[in-house]
Amino acid sequence: MLTGLDAGEKFSLSFTFSHGENLLKGELYKDPRVQALLSKSFSGKLQVIFPVFNLERGIFYPDVEDVLGGCLEAGEFLAELYNAGFLSRKLYDKVVCCPSCGSVNVSTRYSCPYCKSFDIIKSSLIEHIKCGCMDVEEKFRLEGKLVCPKCHGELTKRDVDYRRAGVWCTCRGCGKSFDMPVAGHFCRECRHVFLFEDAVFKEAYVYKLNEAVKTEFLVGAIPSQVFIVIFSFKFTLLFAASL
């Protein structure tokens, strides 16, 4: 099963779900917050619940906060519903948090593996196929064209005249070159600099109503008060549409 994404690939929605506990599920059906969420989902207004991200709050679910009357604990609420088997989910993103202050206002720094400076210049490596000359793109740039610095032939067709052979970085701090920088982070709130091993990750999920809950609704297993909420909502819609 696909669990991650390759570069350039778009996010696909294949969900996993927890079977949950029936007892817990039965109790949750009586929860007015769950009833509100179900009625919105059945009405088609909230089919898939995507998280939103900003630097102040990190991951949050504004659509669900609306349903819960402005409650900011929508993430915990959705996780609870997932654990009870109401919702299926898919990992959407992982947010890096500062290990010192917990802020998500964190930048990624690609640094020199020799002197750790993040003042590095990233270039593309180009290979002239005819003569085998390989160097950074800047060395081939001449008056808006690509010209081989060794044999002075012009490079016009990619993968015929020349190949892009990866990236090449040069450090402004120590002058050394390398192909793979070291990734680190900088907290813009408390100015803490940290590496992957100290980074804290928060998971963000996309949620949707579990198909089994829809079936339970169709066979009448959902308590009547939920049915009334959903039914009255649909009726309001029908009534509004007929005006």
Interface contacts to Zn ion, rule CB under 5 A: 98, 100-101, 103, 112, 114-115, 117, 128, 131, 133, 148, 150-151, 171, 173-174, 187, 189-190, 192
Q: What are the residue ranges of helices labelled H in 14-145?
A: 22-29, 32-42, 62-67, 74-83, 137-140
- CB nearer to Zn ion: pick between 191 and 214: 191
Q: How far is the CB of 92 from Zn ion (least distance, A)?
A: 24
Q: How far is the CB of 138 from Zn ion (least distance, A)?
A: 16
> Using CA atoms, how far apart are residues 88 and 208, in angstroms rounded to an integer?
5
Q: How far is the CB of 96 from Zn ion (least distance, A)?
A: 11
Which residue, 33, 17, 97, is CA-closest to 65? Answer: 33
Q: How far is the CB of 22 from Zn ion (least distance, A)?
A: 43
Q: How far is the CB of 163 from Zn ion (least distance, A)?
A: 12
Structure tokens at 81: 């519903």
- CB nearer to Zn ion: pick between 33 and 139: 139
Distance of CA 31 to the CA centre of its chain: 30
CB atoms within 10 A of CB 46: 19
Which residue, 82, 90, 8, is CA-closest to 50? Answer: 90
Q: How far is the CB of 62 from Zn ion (least distance, A)?
A: 25
Ramachandran region of residue 193, left (φ > 0), alpha (ψ -120 to 50) or beta? Answer: beta
Beta bridge partners of 60: 52
Which residue, 30, 5, 4, 47, is CA-closest to 223? Answer: 30
